[in-house]
Amino acid sequence: MTAGYIVTGIDTGVGKTVFAAGLAGHLGARYWKPVQAGLAEETDSEVVRRLAGRRAQVLPETYRLATPCSPHEAARIEGETIVAERLVLPSGEGPLVVEGAGGVLVPLSDTLLTADRFASWGLPAVVVARTTLGTINHTLLTLEALKAREITIAGVVFSGDENIASETAITRFGAVPHLGRLPHLVPLDAETLAAAFVSHIRTELLG
């Protein structure tokens, strides 16, 4: 089994955290959100703790920033500097699921992009993509950015209603595996997510 995965997406709010929770629960993994920007509402780590069930262990964030914006700007506003040397993979037993902030080219500082830190970790990436209009372009650009940094891409997971044309175009032009699609879940809780993960995600490709 792989040592873990990076979960990233084509944008903010595409379903990364829900997928990361499902993956962490499925693998019995540790979950780590290196940088959290925005603390007023439920944080991503809190969402994963609620949705992953007892099989996942949620690790503390390295940076917790109150301002809900790009991490580099949130850090500037709060008098903080995000430095690469602090963003090292946490040690421990078992697989690790790492969730990035926003998309792959989100700045962490004036000199560091999220994808550059991904490249240093050596973990394969799962890209979470919407199925709505614009997803083909945004997802293919995300894949290009990862490939340019020689980051292994485990595949693409889609979030939302089925869109066969877009899903097929992305996996064909991107030359990456289709890992499945998580539909909208009502209610969304640990039980419904675990069931949907097994039913809709190609778990055999993820260990």
Nearest to 151 by CA among 175, 189, 118: 118
- Angle between helix axes 164-174 and 135-148 (nearest 10 degrees) is 20
Question: Is 100 in contact with 6 (CB distance < 8 Å)?
Answer: yes
33 carries an active-site annotation? yes
Nearest to 167 by CA among 122, 135, 144: 135
Which of 33, 72, 117, 130 is flagged as catalytic? 33
What whole-number distance in Å separates Cα of residue 167 and Cα of residue 184?
16
What whole-number distance in Å separates Cα of residue 58 and Cα of residue 128?
20
Residues with a catalytic annotation lie at 33
